[in-house]
Amino acid sequence: MSTTERPRSRPPLRPPTESDFSHRLRGAVVTARVGTWLGVCFLIAFVTGLISHYAQEPNQPIPFPTSPAWGYRVTQGLHIITGTAAVPLLLVKLWSVYPKLFAVPPKRARELAIEVAERASIAVLVAAAIFQLVSGLQNIAHWYTWPFSFRSVHYAVGWLVTGALLLHIAVKLPVIRGAYATPVRDDEPASPGSLDRRGLLRATWAATAVAVLATAGTTVPWLRRVSVLGVRSGDGPQGLPVNRSARAAGVTSRATSGRYTLEVVAGDRTVSLTRDDLLAMTQRTESLPIACVEGWSASAVWTGVRVRDLLDLVDAPRNSDVRVVSLQQRGAFGITHLPGNFADDDRTLLALALHGEPLALDHGYPARLIAPNRPGVLQTKWVTRLEVTA
């Protein structure tokens, strides 16, 4: 806190300084506590983000596991929940420290250099953190204002945030320790009824809880009704959300044409099957979730042919990687990579039915891939070709 006396009459014209923005609620006591939870959220989002990125990598030195089937549902749900919680926390934290932008820089060269270095690292941290939250929310809203690949840039900036965050924590450790040694209620006396530090922190936790509840329902089924901000939470045919409809994917005529076949290819062997041929094969039923990278997820009962049974028709060796090709010719998700351990898992199906009814067109009719513990974006719809690649 500054001890400068404020002039009583006619303040001279001068640029604002830190003390002009002083407020009894600001200070390390509040910043450190909000910052701790913000740091926890960012670190959980980072780890779950690494998992999601790896799960979508075509070349995995260690194969991503197929179990537990609900694993990706939980990690990606946590990713979106912690990212959402970080929004109000970041706003309060920035509010609690922004007067520092107006602090008078030290005069001595050495101190000035340290100050500049620290401010530069904080600038990187703040810019990268805002970018992560904004780009993540935009991705959920399908509002693509950027020309770059969301996944690779969000991933790279995730490392940037984490590095800058760890540096920031290390530099601020003495301040954080001091802040925790000071009780929150050790407040300047406020006039009756005005907000004190405890009130500010409680309001912050409440805002965070509201943000979480408003989005978490997309992951936690019984929260669905309170999730007013949840995107696509249960609407869609057969009680399951739809991210891209058949119409949007431009597949309607090819998917319903009656000339549909599934080709299974390994080397120079090809087998061609109609939907009736597929229905004549042994049918299996599995309960597996669709877990979208956007955070929503929904469990469903799928019936169809085991992918391994299909690969056996062309004598594909065990642990064969498979290219899954959709009728969809535009967009990024028309072709996906199915690693060998997923292709061999007994629960991995080429689904023909959902909840006991023929698959709706928007869910991938005539046939769609469904595998355990696989990001939703790779659960390819309108599948027309399975091709062994290695």
Ligand X SMILES: Nc1nc2c(c(=O)[nH]1)N[C@H]1C(S)=C(S)[C@@H](COP(=O)(O)O)O[C@H]1N2
Binding site for Mo ion (CB under 5 A): 243, 292, 376-377
323 binds ligand X (CB under 6 A): no
79 binds ligand X (CB under 6 A): no
Residue 292 CB, shortest distance to ligand X, in Å, is 3
Task: Quote the CA–CA distance of 308 and 316 in Å, as a whole number.
Answer: 9
> 212 touches which of ligand X, Mo ion, none (CB within 5 to 8 A by kind)?
none
Task: Quote the CA–CA distance of 103 and 47 in Å, as a whole number.
Answer: 35
Nearest to 31 by CA among 189, 163, 195, 178: 178
135 binds ligand X (CB under 6 A): no
379 binds ligand X (CB under 6 A): yes
Q: Cβ-count burial of 259 within 10 angstroms (0-12 exposed, 13-18 middle, 19+ buried)?
A: exposed
Task: Quote the CA–CA distance of 146 and 157 in Å, as a whole number.
Answer: 14
Q: Which residue is nearest to ligand X (CB)?
A: 376
User: Tell me, what amino acid is at 128?
Assistant: A
The residue among 348 and 379 lying less far from Mo ion, judged by its C-beta, is 379
> 326 touches which of Mo ion, ligand X, none (CB within 5 to 8 A by kind)?
ligand X
> 381 touches which of Mo ion, ligand X, none (CB within 5 to 8 A by kind)?
ligand X
> 241 touches which of ligand X, Mo ion, none (CB within 5 to 8 A by kind)?
ligand X
The residue among 71 and 376 lying less far from Mo ion, judged by its C-beta, is 376
Task: Quote the CA–CA distance of 187 and 41 in Å, as a whole number.
Answer: 27
Helix residue spans in 141-263 (DSSP H): 150-181, 197-216, 246-249, 252-256
According to DSSP, residue 81 is labeled H
The residue among 88 and 364 lying less far from ligand X, judged by its C-beta, is 364
Helix, strand, coil distribution of the chain in percent, nearest 5: 50, 15, 35
> 339 touches which of Mo ion, ligand X, none (CB within 5 to 8 A by kind)?
none
Helix residue spans in 267-306 (DSSP H): 275-280
User: From the centroid of its chain, how far is CA 159?
Assistant: 15
> 328 touches which of Mo ion, ligand X, none (CB within 5 to 8 A by kind)?
ligand X
Tell me which residues in 214-253 interact with ligand X (CB under 6 A). 240-244, 249
Residue 142 CB, shortest distance to ligand X, in Å, is 10
84 binds ligand X (CB under 6 A): no
Token pair 């290695």 in the structure block, residue: 390
Chain residues binding ligand X by CB under 6 A are: 240-244, 249, 290, 292, 326, 328, 331, 333-334, 363-364, 376-377, 379-382
